[in-house]
């Protein structure tokens, strides 16, 4: 662990040479940026402000918290919105084409705002930046961008920013891959009472439609001791719920020097005093072990929710997707999970319109949806990602056919989820209050173990605490309830 206080003290007399070891090196550059920002703030009589905008998954959301941690150390304060910020950072996603398009659209707008603010800086990072065509396009048509970096060197943010501040030029630093994990950098959490915790990075599965393994690199697990230490610190700082993050948490630990399983890791985390709830994402069905099912069934802290992406119900399509399970083995797995943990809530991801998908294949997907009866499902229209094997497969499905299937699937999923949600009506359950209700501030919004939300009368003092709540009325995918003493 770095002696941060020591670095804070040396803030005014930084040595000329930066340390070579991490994270010390980054703390050096944080201080370097801090000196520059302090000077600008004094000259303007107004602190420089930042806004991070996160696209994509929880992994990206956690990365953004790391960026914010560094920015706040440097002395930036958060701006109300991106139009007013002096430093805007887009943490991008490229899992589907539309995620990509959104970034270009907003970036164009930002370029116009930048012309009016001489202090304004724009940084782009995240998964999209790992695609060479994207960076080429930015270099050519978006010259006003100040800083571009990727998913592997996010820990170097302070160093890159210092380079930008000193050189005054566009800085681009993208790594193809890495085997490095840098621990102990500052992080600023969005919520005081819950936090994401990376347990692994990257993905080795190469599902044929998916770009993630190309932009996030090879699978790397964090050392269990570092994970436990991080969670212990979070708990000491008021966190009661953690979400363990990885593209395929079920294969956690396989590449470690002393391999341990994900189920063993969970058992260790369960022992942490003061931690109340454990969640994790995402589980790949092919690697979900009986050991894990058992650990979940016996646990008092692991939440009654499992996100188990099926992608398709057709074994033929699953094979083309390189998912390495069949419709039957998936249904069998679901059966074993439900038997061991009867109150489990299951959610999933489904893709429609994968190349070669026929009406029969689609019917198999509907069949799985009806058999499993998911609490909710994220449905996606297949998006062709250049460089993935599926992008060059023949028989891409016509758009009208895909749209029609998508709508039929959505209706099925929504009808079933309304029914499964209603099952809990009238029961009393524990809710962790997360926020005031967006529309009615006399209500608070709490999350149940099974990940469903309940709105009930309360006030801001309840945020971050647990309450017993009766679920009076189910409204499709959330409840209206009341607190029970
Ligand atoms: N690692 C996770 C998923 C990460 S991406 C897992 O394997 O389950 C989140 C979801 O995006 C995927 O589950 C998939 O349903 C969807 N997705 C990924 N690539 C896609 C593509 N090319 N087109 C449409 N949806 C896609
Ligand atoms: Fe993509 Fe498959 Fe890896 Fe998930 S497991 S990130 S879908 S390649
Ligand atoms: Fe998107 Fe990258 Fe996550 S592509 S879904 S932000 S891993």
Distance 204 CA to ligand 2 centre (A): 8
Q: Where are the domains of the chain?
A: 4-173, 194-423, 427-483
Distance 58 CA to ligand 2 centre (A): 14
Task: Confirm whether 194-423 and 427-483 share one CATH topology.
Answer: no
C-alpha closest to that of 405 among 363, 349, 347: 363
Please determine, for residue 372, whether its predicted confidence score (pLDDT) is greater than 80: yes
Ligand 1 nearest-atom number relative to CA 384: 22
Q: How many CA atoms lie within 13 A of 303 on its CB side?
A: 27
Q: Band of the pLDDT at 5, cuts 50, 70, 90?
A: low
* Residues 141, 144, 149: CA angle, nearest 5 degrees: 90
Distance 458 CA to ligand 2 centre (A): 40
pLDDT tens sequence across 191-228: 999 999 999 999 999 999 999 999 999 999 999 999 99
**C-alpha span between 69 and 171 (Å, rounded):** 21
Instruction: Write the burial class of residue 36 (CB in 10 Å: 0-12 exposed, 13-18 middle, 19+ buried).
Output: middle
Q: Band of the pLDDT at 10, cuts 50, 70, 90?
A: low
The answer to whether the CB of 269 is under 6 A from ligand 3 is no
Give the number of whichever ligand sits closest to the CA of residue 390. 1
Please determine, for residue 334, whether its predicted confidence score (pLDDT) is greater than 60: yes
Q: Is 33 known to sit in a ligand binding site?
A: no
What are 466's strand-pairing partners? 432
Ligand 2 nearest-atom number relative to CA 282: 4
Classified by CATH at the fold level, domain 4-173 comes out as Rossmann fold (3.40.50)
CATH number of 427-483: 2.40.50.140
Please determine, for residue 2, whether its predicted confidence score (pLDDT) is greater than 60: no
Distance 380 CA to ligand 1 centre (A): 8
| pTM for this predicted structure | 0.94
Give the number of whichever ligand sits closest to the CA of residue 55. 3
C-alpha closest to that of 52 among 64, 60, 62: 64
Ligand 2 pocket list (CB less than 6 A): 203, 205-207, 210, 212-213, 247-248, 284
- pLDDT for res 15: 85
Q: What average pLDDT does the segment 62-88 reach?
A: 94
The answer to whether the CB of 462 is under 6 A from ligand 3 is no
Q: Band of the pLDDT at 155, cuts 50, 70, 90?
A: very high
Classified by CATH at the fold level, domain 194-423 comes out as pyruvate-formate lyase- activating enzyme (3.80.30)
Q: Are 412 and 364 in contact (CB under 8 A)?
A: no
The answer to whether the CB of 93 is under 6 A from ligand 3 is yes
Which stretch of DSSP H or E encloses residue 233? helix 224-236
Please determine, for residue 404, whether its predicted confidence score (pLDDT) is greater than 60: yes
């Amino acid at each position: 662990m770095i002696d941060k206080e020591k670095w804070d003290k040396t803030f005014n007399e930084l040595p000329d040479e930066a340390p070579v070891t991490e994270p010390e090196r980054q703390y050096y550059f944080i201080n370097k940026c801090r000196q520059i920002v302090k000077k600008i703030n004094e000259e303007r009589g107004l602190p420089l402000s930042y806004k991070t905008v996160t696209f994509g998954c929880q992994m990206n959301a956690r990365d953004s918290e790391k960026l914010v941690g560094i920015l706040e150390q440097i002395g930036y304060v958060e701006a109300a919105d991106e139009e007013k910020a002096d430093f805007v950072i887009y943490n991008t996603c490229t899992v589907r084409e539309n995620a990509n398009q959104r970034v270009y659209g907003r970036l164009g707008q930002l370029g116009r705002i930048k012309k009016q603010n001489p202090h304004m800086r724009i940084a782009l990072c995240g998964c999209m930046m790992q695609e060479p065509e994207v960076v080429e396009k930015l270099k050519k048509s978006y010259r006003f961008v100040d800083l571009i970096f990727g998913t592997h060197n996010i820990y170097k943010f302070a160093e890159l920013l210092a380079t930008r501040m000193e050189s005054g030029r566009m800085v681009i630093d993208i790594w193809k891959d890495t085997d490095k994990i840098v621990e102990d950098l500052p992080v600023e959490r969005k919520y005081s009472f819950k936090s994401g915790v990376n347990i692994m990075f990257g993905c080795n599965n190469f599902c044929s439609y998916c770009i993630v393994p190309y932009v996030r690199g090879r699978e790397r697990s964090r050392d269990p001791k570092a994970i436990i230490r991080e969670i212990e610190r979070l708990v000491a700082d008021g966190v009661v719920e953690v979400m363990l993050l990885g593209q395929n948490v079920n294969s956690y630990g396989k590449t470690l020097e002393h391999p341990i399983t994900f189920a063993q890791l969970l058992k260790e985390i369960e022992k942490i005093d003061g931690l109340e709830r454990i969640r994790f994402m995402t589980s790949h069905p092919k690697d979900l072990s009986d050991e894990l099912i058992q650990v979940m069934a016996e646990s008092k802290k692991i939440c009654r929710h499992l996100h188990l992406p099926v992608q398709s119900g057709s074994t033929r399509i699953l094979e083309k997707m390189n998912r390495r399970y069949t419709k039957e083995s998936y249904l069998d797995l679901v059966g074993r999970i439900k038997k061991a943990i009867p109150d489990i809530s299951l959610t999933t991801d489904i893709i429609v319109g994968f190349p070669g998908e026929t009406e029969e294949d689609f019917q198999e997907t509907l069949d799985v949806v009806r058999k499993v009866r998911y609490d909710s499902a994220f449905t996606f229209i297949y998006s062709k990602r250049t460089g993935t094997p599926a992008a060059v497969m023949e028989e891409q499905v016509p758009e009208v056919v895909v749209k029609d299937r998508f709508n039929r699937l959505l209706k099925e999923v929504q009808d079933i989820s309304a029914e499964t949600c209603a099952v809990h009506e009238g029961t009393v359950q524990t809710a962790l209050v997360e926020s005031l209700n967006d529309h009615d501030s006399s209500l608070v919004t709490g999350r149940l173990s099974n990940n469903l939300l309940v709105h009930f009368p309360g006030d801001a003092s309840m945020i971050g605490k647990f309450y017993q709540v009766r679920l009076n009325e189910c409204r499709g995918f959330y409840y209206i309830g009341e607190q029970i003493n």
